[in-house]
Amino acid sequence: MSNIVSFINQKGGVAKTTTAINVAAQWSQLGKKILLIDLDPQASATRAIFGDNEFENTIYDVLTSEIEAKEAVVHSESFGIDVIPSEIMLSGIEIILSSKFGRESILKRGLAEVKDNYDIVIIDCSPSLGLLTVNALIASKDIVIPVCPEYFSLKGIELILETLKNIHTGLGHKINVRGIIISKYRNRRIVEQVIQDLRSNYSIPVFNNYIPDSIVVEEAHHKHLPMRKFSPKNPAGLALANLAMEMWA
Ligand SMILES: Nc1ncnc2c1ncn2[C@@H]1O[C@H](COP(=O)(O)OP(=O)(O)OP(=O)(O)O)[C@@H](O)[C@H]1O
Ligand SMILES: [Mg+2]
């Protein structure tokens, strides 16, 4: 896997943030140095990790070139990772970026001087394929796509692949889909159906470790802890740990 990986799906609530922050915490336990970038104006990752703390510097300031990325980095002891937090101001940034030169590669340029300090930089994207997410894609070589089988749509995957194709032809940047993460599943039969649909339509790999639906995941967010600390033996906690190993391989 390359140094920067984005967690992407324009569908909301499919566990992008949950998998991103927990995989990050698992990798950190393996001794890897991880930077997580919260690129969502909802700031769900920032809140899951730090609660209601406010930050002087955020990814907004990096994207508007007010500061260098390293000035926005904060450390989370409990997750064992560095984070560039988000804030609600980010919801207005697309208008600001849209008039800038090289507007699709502003994040990439912003991260250029910090990325080599880390084994991996993880970008948690918002549920959109707008300019902010395009910036994440241009900064990344790899993406992973979390999906929930209970409300899975092939059309949604097609839209992501179409965006990747447009970025390749329009901007000359090739992105590798590392795999699909099956998350929040309740019924294994539905999972098998989704995997069959994916296999017969595309050649995207699906990670073998599926994350079951568990209320404990929500509780861990409220306690601002990774699953590996909050409930490591819970089936969702175990699955996240195994997924992190599988993704690293
Ligand atoms: N395995 C799981 N079991 C139960 N609940 C889960 C699980 N994974 C995530 N959730 C819950 O589902 C909700 C959505 O998860 P999350 O915020 O990770 O999705 P998202 O794709 O990042 O959403 P958004 O598109 O809004 O950014 C959250 O309340 C989260 O706690
Ligand atoms: Mg999210």
Q: Is 57 in the pocket of ligand 1 (CB under 6 A)?
A: no
CA–CA distance, 22 with 238 (Å, rounded to integer): 11
Mean pLDDT, rounded, for 202-207:
91
Cβ of 17 below 6 Å from ligand 1:
yes
Q: In this predicted structure, what is the pLDDT of residue 199?
A: 82
- Do residues 147 and 205 make contact, with C-beta atoms less than 8 angstroms apart? no
Could you identify the atom of ligand 1 that is nearest to the CA of residue 11? 25
pLDDT at 2 over 70: no
How confident is the model over 4-56, as pLDDT tens digits?
999 999 999 999 999 999 999 999 999 999 999 999 999 999 999 999 999 99
- The tens digit of pLDDT for each residue in 210-232 reads 999 999 999 999 999 999 999 99
Pocket lining: 218 vs ligand 1, CB cutoff 6 Å: yes
Average pLDDT score over residue span 196-211 = 91
| Ligand 2 ion local residues (Cβ < 5 A) | 16-17, 44
Give pLDDT tens digits for 108-135: 999 999 999 999 999 999 999 999 999 9
* pLDDT band (50, 70, 90) for residue 1: low
Topology of domain 4-248, per CATH?
A: Rossmann fold (3.40.50)
Burial (Cβ within 10 Å: 0-12, 13-18, ≥19) of residue 65 = exposed
**Residue 201 banded pLDDT, cuts 50, 70, 90:** confident
Q: Which atom of ligand 1 is nearest to the CA of 183?
A: 1
C-alpha dihedral over 85, 161, 19, 138, to 10 degrees?
A: -30
Distance 242 CA to ligand 2 centre (A): 21
pLDDT of residue 249: 82
